[in-house]
């Protein structure tokens, strides 16, 4: 945009997929003033999502597409009145949606003495921070944030074990099958422990006969039965003792971390 600094323009370009609308643009919104810059339907200026996405049916009927907010109403003395225009007379259910839309946008406060200004939606202050920028990029790469990835760092285990646990849950451990798919020449992609199946994440940590034996021994210690899950994240989440306290379960999950750390150093058993 015309008023953006050169470094912001470069950063925006980096975050656009194929030159389109990128992850940084999705976080940008407008602090509404007179409505001179924010587009009524297409930009975020009220709430945290644009009206085009929130009311797709009304958008398809609107004659205000592409217009600025200030073009979709008039000032009468010091009072702002919305003036929405449509392609045809609405059905009753569409009129109900219009009434809901008007109520929704009436939350915004127009100020004819100020200009609209860009704000960063991830911060309450509207100002870009390094942390919020990192979270924006990280979310774009890894998908929606999962609280599961915060939890391992609370577990009672040695730091190196927790780093391994974190890598396992993210799927970042260098199993032979993974390395082979990335073009690394391997003598074999069979499991280093059982030599029976390809060494995938699921096999090495859950399905290998040695892994299954270790997990079963853990639960025999405390005299309970445990249904094995075939998804590592689910297995970790359900490695939980109902009768135990929160602190005791943090210790119990430390056992999980210790086991996957050993299997992560495959071949040491």
Higher pLDDT, 154 or 55: 55
The predicted model gives 213-228 an average pLDDT of 77
For the chain, the structural domain boundaries read 6-142, 147-264
Confidence of residue 216 (pLDDT cuts 50, 70, 90): confident
C-alpha 82/C-alpha 98 separation (Å) is: 11
Residue 26, pLDDT > 70, answer: no
Q: Where are the alpha helices (DSSP H) in the chain?
A: 6-14, 23-27, 51-54, 56-61, 92-105, 130-142, 159-170, 176-181, 201-202, 209-221, 232-237, 246-264
C-beta separation of 152 from 162 below 8 A: yes
Q: Tell whether the model's pLDDT for residue 162 goes beyond 70.
A: yes
Q: What pLDDT does 2 receive?
A: 54
Q: Cα angle at 160 between 156 and 163, to 5 degrees? A: 85
Q: Could you tell me which residues come within 8 angstroms of residue 238 by beta carbon, excluding any fewer than 6 positions away? A: 229
Write the pLDDT tens digit of every residue in 44-90.
898 888 899 889 999 999 999 999 999 999 998 888 999 999 998 88
Could you count the other beta carbons within 10 Å of the beta carbon of residue 212?
12
pLDDT at 268: 39
**pLDDT single digits (tens) 102-145:** 999 988 888 888 999 888 765 556 666 676 666 666 666 555 44
C-alpha distances in Å from residue 64, one per residue of 11, 80, 97, 155: 31, 17, 16, 54
Q: Which range among 30-44, 112-126, 202-216 shows the weakest confidence by mean pLDDT?
A: 112-126
> Vertex 175, ends 173 and 178: CA angle to 5°?
95
Taking alpha carbons only, the member of 3, 99, 8, 104 closest to residue 51 is 104
């Amino acid at each position: 945009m015309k008023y953006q600094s050169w470094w912001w323009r470069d950063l925006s370009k980096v975050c656009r997929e194929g030159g389109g609308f990128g992850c940084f643009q999705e976080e940008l919104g407008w602090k509404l003033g007179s409505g001179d810059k924010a587009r009524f339907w297409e930009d975020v200026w009220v709430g945290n999502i644009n009206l085009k996405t929130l009311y797709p049916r009304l958008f398809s009927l609107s004659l205000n597409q592409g217009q600025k907010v200030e073009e979709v109403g008039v000032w009468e003395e010091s009072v702002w009145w919305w003036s929405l225009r449509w392609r045809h007379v609405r059905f009753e259910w569409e009129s109900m949606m219009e009434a809901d839309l008007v109520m929704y946008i009436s939350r915004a406060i127009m100020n004819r003495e100020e200009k609209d200004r860009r704000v960063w939606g991830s911060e309450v202050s509207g100002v870009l921070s390094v942390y919020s920028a990192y979270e924006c990029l990280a979310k774009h790469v890894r998908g929606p944030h999962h609280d599961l990835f915060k939890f391992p760092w609370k577990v009672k285990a040695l730091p190196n074990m927790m780093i391994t646990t974190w890598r396992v849950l993210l799927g970042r451990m260098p199993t032979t099958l993974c390395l082979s798919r990335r073009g690394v020449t391997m003598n074999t992609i069979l499991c280093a422990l059982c030599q029976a199946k390809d060494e995938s994440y699921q096999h090495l940590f859950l399905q290998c006969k040695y892994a299954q034996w270790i997990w079963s021994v853990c639960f025999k210690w405390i005299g309970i039965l445990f249904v094995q899950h075939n998804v590592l994240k689910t297995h970790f989440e359900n490695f939980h003792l109902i009768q135990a306290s929160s602190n005791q379960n943090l210790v119990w999950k430390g056992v999980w971390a210790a086991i996957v750390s050993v299997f992560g150093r495959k071949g040491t058993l």
